Structure 1
Amino acid sequence: MEDLESKHYQELMALKKEYEEFVYIVSHDLKSPLRAIANISSWIEDDLEGNDNAEIIANFSLMKGRVARLESMMNALIELSRVNRLELDQYEVSIPELVKECAAMATTTPNVSFHYRIEIEHEKVTTLAKKLEKVLFNLIENAIQFHDKDKINIFIEIIETNLAYEFAIRDDGPGIPEAVREKIFNIFYTVSAKDLVETTGAGLTICKKIVKLVGGTIELVSGEGSGTTFKFSWPKEIVL
């Protein structure tokens, strides 16, 4: 039995090494040619300055947009691979202040209103603050980015239990169809087409990996047409 467990562990470590080598190749060997394509297309655009062919101009713009998207996806893949290794310092942070800072960072338009319900006894906690910030920012940004109304309402709830802080990020947007909910945490998956909403589709995957790293849980609660709620728990004590 022990030999079998040892064999499975070695196979797992080998797969992990292969994955890390793949990410290294992506980050170093593919970025340079992508940047070269972007640069060359810009040079050609400069050479064509004064050309009034709208189709040519649109095609170059489309190509540069696709290259930028590929680079963003590669950066997201690299970030995902480093979740367990980077930003592992624990320091004291105010939970309410951190939430409101993340909300401010994620808001790029004046039509967003935040509504808070905070029921906690201990506002400050020593934790993986940068990781918590990443999860909060991604979930808030996601709620704003995929909203479909002129006026956006985001509801943020924080409840403290004996062992953890329980967070809920809710919006009053279109919600997520039940048929695709199982895919929502998959890398690069988006409900809306990437041509409609410019996103890598990696934010929720990164959130899930971070929450799993600290020993918490994350789930989607959504009814189509009635908004979306993401709930996650963040343990007060984190042992890596």
Structure 2
Amino acid sequence: MTDSSRGDPESATPAGVRRQEAVADLGRRVLEIDDLDDIRRDAAAVVAETIDAAYASVFELCPEGDAVALCEGVGWAEEQLGAATLPTGPDTYAGDVLRTTEPVVVDEFDAQNDRSAPDLLADRGVVGGIAVVLGSPDDPWGLLSVHVTEQRPFADRDVLFVRNVATVLTSAIENAKMERRFDAIFDDPNILVGLLEPDGSVLDINETAMEYVDADLEGVVGEPFWKTPWWTDDGVQSDVKAWTERAATGEYVPFEADLTRPGGGWYTLEGVFRPVTNDDGEVVSIIVSDRDITERRRRERELEASNERLAQFAYAASHDLQEPLRMVTSYLQLLERRYADELDSDAEEFIAFAVDGAERMGDMIDALLEYSRVETRGEPLEPVDLEATLEAVRRDLELQIEETDAEITADSLPRVRGDENQLRQVFQNLLSNAIQYSGDEPPRIRVTAERADSMWRVSVGDEGIGIDPGDQERVFEVFQRLHSHEEHSGTGIGLALCRRIVERHGGEIRLDSEPGEGATFSFTLPPVDEGDEDAG
């Protein structure tokens, strides 16, 4: 066995010219016909004829990757197509071909020299051949091979010819794969697809998209895309023209547009202008693919309206509850003062319980008001220095920190896009909880930050009593408490408020904890945009 390192053949000879013409003819057929089976059959035929070989074969890699199957060839019986295979495991002939970019040339199979013919070939008297991978060793499609039954050395021009045919065949296979992917998208009844020239002229539109307009395909082919019936609004037309021009420069352009059907009624499309480039990186066409997201947008708007009504109800209910609650508290206190001499110790205790309950209910109402206002009363998201925010919270909790001998350490914290007052609430709730649930030891709390893909992840960890895994989701629900009021004070809404604030910032909050091992609350926040940094 030898690899192809035989130098350049003399292509100027008549035989060399005929070989070049054969490769060029095959290349032209790749451009003219769409049937990959015909192209593979032609490739095998031209190789067998030019090399004067008994067998020429196109093998396709099986889905499991452990063998290649014969799909087209010369010299094979019809029933062997699709059935005959070669193993591709380590130290196999076909496996070696798939794992190298160079043609594998065997002038004579010889078991004593560690290169015996596979059974499929040996049974047919094959003594030597040339084989080359179709595709690349990183992503092989299969292999092209030519084999002879009479021993002879292969000339450099033979090796180069097989390699050139393999290159043309690989190109045809890649084109066919791209066409199948495009056809699958083009024929998808859920996707609107348009194919454009780089200048925006329409080449083709799929049937799904045509159902949205009162026009036929012949009426839009050749027209500038932004002047077709989908884009009836002047403002949208200018946007579509700009998106097309950006895609023509090689840019991938996502978009969303609200449009009107011919008979009236709005619909919303979400999609992308995708440039298609050639091997030189030049844009040769533009594919526009989009989906109708009208129903999704309708549900989102209904949900937003529902949330707004719910927030208004919570605010109104909480506000209306405050006045009668204040009246209950005031009359209880008045009763205690006016009839203090007539009350026994039990009555005084009962009144104290009632006042305490009313005050706790007042705290819960205030917390519910705060929870309902996260969306409606929040400030615009602007650059926020988390180190400054944390320092402000430290000052707010100074008395609690001193009383418990708490120690709070922090890494360098980033600047994020957020509502500073709301992020201050998040830190205050998490740090206050960490101090309160520290157990018998002085609280030890650490605040860290790390980049997590496109977001910042901020973590507040403690060494306190921890939380059972089964309760870790429940703590984020409104008015859910894991401890009685006598054990730990609080409204049961602080962590629910933290979650709502973090979600308003486009992030997520999670808890990692084990009983007795402390707890770590981690939440994600958006980074400051470059424009915001420059402005700052």
Cα distance change on mapping 1:11 and 1:235 into 2, 3 Å: closer
- Pairing 1:134–2:425 present: yes
- Pairing 1:171–2:462 present: yes
- Structure 1: which 5+ runs fail to align? none
Q: How far, CA to CA, are the matches of 2:411 and 2:427 in structure 1?
A: 15
Q: How far, CA to CA, are the matches of 2:495 and 2:482 in structure 1?
A: 12
- Pairing 1:236–2:527 present: yes
The 3-state SS of whatever aligns with 2:307 is helix
The 3-state SS of whatever aligns with 1:88 is coil
In structure 2, give the amino acid aligned to 1:113.
Answer: A
Quick one: which of 399, 402, 411 aligns to 1:118? 411
Q: How far, CA to CA, are the matches of 1:124 and 1:24 in structure 2?
A: 32
Identity of aligned residues (%): 24
Residues 175, 223 of structure 1: 8 Å contact kept: yes
Cα distance change on mapping 1:215 and 1:6 into 2, 3 Å: closer
> 1:232, CA displacement in angstroms?
1.0
TM-score, normalised by the number of residues in structure 2? 0.41
- Pairing 1:33–2:324 present: yes
Range that drifts further, 87-96 or 58-67: 87-96
Cα distance change on mapping 1:65 and 1:102 into 2, 3 Å: same
Residues 454, 526 of structure 2: 8 Å contact kept: yes
The 3-state SS of whatever aligns with 1:147 is coil
Q: How far, CA to CA, are the matches of 2:429 and 2:447 in structure 1?
A: 13
2:515 maps to which residue? 224
The 3-state SS of whatever aligns with 1:50 is helix
Cα distance change on mapping 1:175 and 1:23 into 2, 3 Å: same
Residues 143, 171 of structure 1: 8 Å contact kept: yes
Quick one: which of 390, 394, 409 aligns to 1:103? 394
Q: How far, CA to CA, are the matches of 1:220 and 1:48 in structure 2?
A: 50
Q: How far, CA to CA, are the matches of 1:83 and 1:218 in structure 2?
A: 16
Quick one: which of 21, 25, 42 aligns to 2:333? 42
Q: How far, CA to CA, are the matches of 1:174 and 1:10 in structure 2?
A: 42
- Structure 2: which 5+ runs fail to align? 1-291, 530-536
Q: How far, CA to CA, are the matches of 1:2 and 1:128 in structure 2?
A: 30
> 1:135, CA displacement in angstroms?
0.9
Residues 107, 141 of structure 1: 8 Å contact kept: no
- Pairing 1:53–2:344 present: yes
> 1:17, CA displacement in angstroms?
4.7
Residues 475, 495 of structure 2: 8 Å contact kept: yes
RMSD over aligned CA atoms reads 2.5
Q: Once the two structures are superposed, what CA deviation does each residue of 1:145-200 show, in whole Å capped at 9, x if it has no partner?
A: 22322522112222356743321111111111222112010001111112322211
In structure 1, give the amino acid aligned to 2:526.
Answer: P
Q: How far, CA to CA, are the matches of 1:6 and 1:89 in structure 2?
A: 23
Residues 170, 227 of structure 1: 8 Å contact kept: yes
Q: How does 1:13-32 map to 2 (within 5 A)?
A: 13=304, 15-32=306-323
Q: Once the two structures are superposed, what CA deviation does each residue of 1:12-48 show, in whole Å capped at 9, x if it has no partner?
A: 3553354234214312321111110000000000012
Instruction: Count residues with an aligned counterpart.
Output: 236
Cα distance change on mapping 1:116 and 1:15 into 2, 3 Å: same
The 3-state SS of whatever aligns with 1:65 is helix
Cα distance change on mapping 1:202 and 1:58 into 2, 3 Å: same
In structure 2, give the amino acid aligned to 1:157.
Answer: T
Identify, as 1 or 2, the structure richer in helix: 1
- Pairing 1:12–2:303 present: yes
